[in-house]
Amino acid sequence: MDEIHDEIHDECGVFGVYSSENRSVAHTVYYGLYALQHRGQESGGIAVAFADKITYYKGMGLIPEIFTGGNLEKLPEGDIAVGHVRYSTTGASQLLNAQPVVFTGKCGKMALAHNGNLTNTKQLRDKLIAQNAVFQTTIDSEVMAIMINSLSDGDILKGVKLACPQFKGAYALVIMTVDKLIAVRDPYGIRPLCIGTADDDVIVASESCALDAVGANFLRDVKPGEIVVIDSNGIQSYMMDEIPEESRLCIFEYVYFARHDSVIDGCSVYEARQEAGRLLARHYGVDADIVAGVPDSANVAARAYAEESGIPFVEALAKNRYVGRTFIQPDQTQRENSLSVKMNALRANIRGKRLIIIDDSIVRGTTMRKIIKMLRDAGAKEVHVRVCSPIVKHPCHLGIDIQSYSQLIGAYRDENEISRCIGADSVRYLSVEHLVESCKKSNLKFCLGCFTGKYPYPMETYETDKFKFE
The residues carrying an active-site annotation are 12
| Phi, psi (degrees; rounded to nearest 5) at 247 | -75, 170
Q: Which residues make Cβ contacts (< 8 Å) with residue 155, sequence separation at least 6?
A: 107
Cα(246)–Cα(167) distance, integer angstroms: 18
Cα(224)–Cα(171) distance, integer angstroms: 10
For 101, 149, 453, 463, the CA distances from 135, given in Å and listed in that order, are: 11, 13, 33, 22
Q: Are 92 and 37 in contact (CB under 8 A)?
A: no
Strand 169-176 with 108-118, pairing: antiparallel
Q: Measure the N-to-C terminal CA separation of the chain; round to a whole number of Å.
A: 13
